[in-house]
A and B are shown apart, each in its own frame.
Chain A
């Protein structure tokens, strides 16, 4: 099964850098996703890691260590619009022919001036 843990809430200052951590336990890891979700809206895709290392996409980067069951999302040059919930999701092989995605509770990021 899966157990995904991420901080409930974080605050940061506009222009700063913030790192959101995610730890997980799986039986058949098949990739880790990060999604951004603004209040009242659908989650939108940010990044995908299946191999160890850093994936960079503009102001957002995501890191994965499969041996440690650990990932982080790094947001640089924070803007007010980055205030949102950030969801860590792990896709796990269920052994029966299916890849099952499991989401963490989300980290609510508050960016203040």
Chain B
């Protein structure tokens, strides 16, 4: 199975700040990567797919980048509604696997 290592596990940032979350795959996943946001008690919501494509309706302050085994999610100008957990997921190979998650809090 492809292992997805996400960092940091938790992150505290101020409103308006830019934050970056990293995801490393145990092998090349050829941009088969998605990012999800999950608020407490809710289901995950798709943010980014194909490593850098913004899902419909997602604010443009979210962006994804990377290639090979290294990927990142950037949130520009952090808003209060961005407080959530974030997960990366690879869908290049079966079984599809997720990173351990990053819990983003406000400082």
Interaction A to B: no
Which positions in B face A, CB cutoff 8 Å? none
